[in-house]
Structure 1
Amino acid sequence: MFKVKTLNNISVYGLERLPRDRYEVASDIQNPDALMVRSADLHKAEIPASVKAIGRAGAGTNNIPVAAMSARGVPVFNAPGANANAVKELVLASMLLAARNIAPALEFVRGLEGSEDELHKLVEDGKKNYVGFELPGRSLGVIGLGAIGVKVANAALELGMEVYGYDPAMTVHNAWQLNSGVRQALSVDDLVSKSQFISVHVPLLDATRKLINAERIRLMKKPGVVLNFARAEIVDEDAVLAALAAGTMRAYACDFPSGKFKGNPKVIATPHLGASTGEAEDNCAIMVADQLREFLESGNVRNSVNFPEAVMPLPAGKQRLSIVNANVPNMVGQITTALAQHHINIADLLNKSRGELAYTLVDVDQAIPAELVADIAKIKGVLATRVIVS
């Protein structure tokens, strides 16, 4: 039996992926093998030594101490793309809100008072203040062509917009999904200079903090619209406020309300609704539950933010060693030497690395003695070891 502790309400469709005959799932489990989390802040929590994996039912992992988990040999899984359609729809809605001045127009209508004739006159006199524009022929730059960015770019192209994309780390899989009509930008500055709308879909890293700043806002086609449904810190809020006040930016749409923006009619702020659809929550839970189950039962790693992708079939009748270690020379040599010393023949072996971490799966035809596991655990640089039985 595997024990999985949930730290938030997880969609039942995800929990159903963990069969009851092999999994105990609850919010109050002691010594869990894995954690499933949505928004709970694990930086402030004590993560038990028994934890072998953490699954985040969403894309971002800012609420998880990933570096500390890497040092313990614990993979952190997420659900990239599971909420992509939900975020795409919110981005498109915000583009339309900005283009047609819908948010301030709604506020205007809510404040109307008087008789039917008076209201009619007020509407006719006031509507000129909310004249907008249509999207076909306007330019959109999409920074980050992952699952969400690709969907946004493709949808905008279908709306008749001129779309530019930039992502130096774009995967082959996402490239196949991208409409050939999306034009390639050579850099962020190149993309910004060609775009009236900019939508950012990148993780928050040191390199992306304040990626959209005063200098880049000045490069935009006027009046610009910035759409930020990634992370608040990717956009310099002070630079946005200055541009909105100067009229060089038409609107700022984001999923991260801030005190700086309170009451600003040119800011369209939603309360972190990007993945807040029933479908997205179900998809995220299903994806991360499947990944946790595959790791616990076979050691395979898919969609981890800190481990390399490592997938090797586990045939019936085999036993498998799962080893996490520092990515330094001669680790595989030391592991195979230990196997030889215990007269264990290797049936199959997979070794992958990512940054400072390496991950090895070794399949054998016979029972793995506890002494062998102990010897491998003693090798300098080994972070975690586990025996898996098919």
Structure 2
Amino acid sequence: MYRILTLNNISIKGLERLPRDEYEIASEFSSPDAILLRSHKLSNDDIASSVKAIGRAGAGTNNIPVGECTQRGIAVFNSPGANANAVKELVISALTLGSRGILPGIAYVDTLADMTDGAAMSKLLEKEKKRFKGRELAGKTLGIVGLGAIGSMIARAALDLGMDVIGYDPALSVDAAWRLPSSVQRMDNIGSLFARADYITLHLPVLDATRGLVNESLLKNCKPDACLLNFAREEIVDTDAVVQALDEGILRQFITDFPSPALIGRDDVILMPHIGASTDEAEENCAVMAADQLRDFLRNGNIRNSVNFPNLQLERSGEVRLAITNRNVPKILNSILGILADAEINIVDMLNKSREDIAYNLIDLGSDVSDELITQIQSLEGVINVRVIA
């Protein structure tokens, strides 16, 4: 029986992926096998020594101490793309809000609550509507920074709206490139994208390379009347630099899902309360993906969508499977195989992959192994943990 600690309200559709005859799920455990969470801020001290994996029902993992987990041999999973459609729809809504006088128009109509004469109201609205005239998105250029699951979906939607789309992503994966419409023009550098785009939308994770990426220097590249959207992560944008760009007329508008005191009350800013993934469907999709990944890892040792371990999947073919995590240094795998050979244990199948400082091994054996042999493997210098999966 595996014990799953939940630290947020997880969609029931996700929890249903963990059969109750194999998994015990609760919000309090002293020795859980895995943690399933959404936005809960997790510290290293919160993670019991029994934890083998952490599943995040969402894309970002900045609320999880990933580096410390890696050192402890704990696989951290996220749910990339599961909330992509929800974010895409909100970004398209934001583009419309940033191009038309929708919000001020609604606010103006709300001021007419005391009017009782319908004809007079119609006449007044006909006179005043010119105050809320906007512009159409068709024919404008959208610059997308980050062309992953969300960015590629926004690109398709923007093309359907008649926009020209340019994109920048120095770390574009092969899978993401296949998803990207061929009519999206790839830019060689982010400064060129900012210089050409009428609207700029950000879809990047928080990394050392992206923290504060949108700063005073970059914003100076903007073409006059540009609109910047941030529905990715707050830390990517230097808020003070954005305020300065708005004050100086470098930016026409800033639309973001991450309010801050410096932005509230400005007519040239539209703020939303971090609702990019706040749909029933997105929460269900993220929970299902996270639960499925934890289940496959705990039952089979397979890894999909880990942010700190290599992706590795191997069909079961032996009586017993060893899942071994070790430092990515020479000769450890040879030592492990030597111990198994000395014990005359047949290896049916195996797979080994590494990611930066971590190596991960799945080894299917033709017979069971003793506790003494597992202890022998565990005692090898560089081995972080050994798990026997029956």
Please say if 1:10 is aligned against 2:7.
no
CA deviation map 1:100-137 (0-9, x unaligned):
03222222332346534664565344433322100011
CA distance in 1, matches of 2:54, 2:72: 12
For the residue of structure 2 that corresponds to 1:260, the secondary structure is: coil
CA deviation map 1:142-184 (0-9, x unaligned):
1111100100111101111000111122222222211111111
CA distance in 1, matches of 2:79, 2:313: 17
Mapping of residues 146-185 of structure 1, within 5 Å = 146-185=148-187
Partner of 1:28: 28
- The answer to whether the Cα contact below 8 Å between 2:44 and 2:68 also exists between their aligned partners in 1 is no
CA distance in 2, matches of 1:224, 1:364: 61
Residue among 305, 311, 314 paired with 2:313: 311
CA distance in 2, matches of 1:105, 1:200: 27
CA deviation map 1:72-102 (0-9, x unaligned):
1000001000000000000000000000032
TM-score (norm 2): 0.96
CA distance in 1, matches of 2:347, 2:44: 42
- The answer to whether the Cα contact below 8 Å between 2:259 and 2:272 also exists between their aligned partners in 1 is yes
Structure 2 gap segments, 5+ residues each: none
CA distance in 2, matches of 1:162, 1:378: 59
Partner of 1:254: 256
Which sits farther off after the overlay, 144-153 or 184-193? 184-193
CA distance in 2, matches of 1:167, 1:47: 34
The CA deviation at 1:251 is 1.2
Closer, same or farther in 2 for the Cα pair 1:69/1:371, shift >3 Å? same
Structure 1 gap segments, 5+ residues each: none
Mapping of residues 179-258 of structure 1, within 5 Å = 179-258=181-260
Alignment length, in residue pairs?
388
TM-score (norm 1): 0.96
- The answer to whether the Cα contact below 8 Å between 1:36 and 1:57 also exists between their aligned partners in 2 is yes
Counterpart AA for 2:328: N
For the residue of structure 2 that corresponds to 1:261, the secondary structure is: coil
Closer, same or farther in 2 for the Cα pair 1:112/1:298, shift >3 Å? same
The CA deviation at 1:235 is 1.1
Overall identity of the aligned pairs, in % = 51
CA deviation map 1:272-328 (0-9, x unaligned):
10110000000000001000000000000000010000111112x521111111111
- The answer to whether the Cα contact below 8 Å between 2:53 and 2:74 also exists between their aligned partners in 1 is yes
The alignment's C-alpha RMSD in Å is: 1.5
Partner of 1:111: 111
Partner of 1:79: 79
CA distance in 2, matches of 1:383, 1:364: 20
Q: Which runs of 4+ in 1 moved over 4 A?
A: 117-122
